[in-house]
Amino acid sequence: MVGAPPYGFARLRGKLVVVPKEIETVRQIMDLWQQHMTFRSIAKHLNGLGLRTRKGGKWEHSVIKSIINRHKDNPNRIEEIITWASKN
């Protein structure tokens, strides 16, 4: 595994594990996108709530776009991940 894990996940002993706070933000991003908000408006919304990126920065539309592109083919997967993580 090379590079940083995707937002919502961390590496633990070489495996990807869910980061609860981050995956909740991913869930919120996907919900807002499904409500037809733009990448820029989602970033503005998250910044307005005081939410920060993993590194403590402000949200940018390009980061929102990357997260949505990673999950858009199966947005229900986020719910599956959250359910799985709560059981394990």
pLDDT per residue as tens, the chain (88 positions): 568 889 998 999 888 888 999 999 999 999 999 999 999 999 999 999 999 999 999 999 999 999 999 988 876 677 776 666 666 5
Alpha-carbon distance of 55 to 13, in angstroms, equals 21
Alpha-carbon distance of 43 to 61, in angstroms, equals 6
| pLDDT at position 43 | 98
Q: Tell me the sheet residues that pair with 9.
A: 18
| pLDDT at position 15 | 84
CA within 13 Å, CB half, 31: 10
